[in-house]
A and B are shown apart, each in its own frame.
Chain A
Amino acid sequence: GAVVSQHPSRVICKSGTSVKIECRSLDFQATTMFWYRQFPKQSLMLMATSNEGSKATYEQGVEKDKFLINHASLTLSTLTVTSAHPEDSSFYICSAAPGQSFNEQFFGPGTRLTVL
Chain B
Amino acid sequence: DAKTTQPPSMDCAEGRAANLPCNHSTISGNEYVYWYRQIHSQGPQYIIHGLKNNETNEMASLIITEDRKSSTLILPHATLRDTAVYYCIVNRNNDMRFGAGTRLTVKP
Contact = CB atoms under 8 A, between A and B. Distances in A.
Interface of A: 1, 4, 6, 32, 34, 36, 43-46, 49, 91, 93, 95, 97, 101-110, 112
A43 B100 contact: yes
Contacts of A97: 94
Contacts of A101: 94
A79 to B, nearest CB: 14
B91 interface: yes
Interface of B: 32, 34, 36, 38, 41-46, 49, 87, 91, 94-101
A49 B97 CA distance: 12
Contact of B91 (A34, A45, A103): A103
A43 B41 contact: no
B19 to A, nearest CB: 21
B49 A43 contact: no
Given A104-B46, A104-B49, A44 B98 contact: yes
Given A93-B44, A103-B91, 8 more contacts: A1-B46, A36-B98, A95-B44, A97-B94, A103-B94, A107-B43, A107-B44, A107-B45
Interface centre among B32, B36, B94 (most CB of A within 10 A): B94
A91 B95 CA distance: 20
Nearest to B91: A103
A93 B98 CA distance: 13
Contact of A110 (B36, B42, B46): B42
A110 B41 contact: yes
B49 A112 contact: no
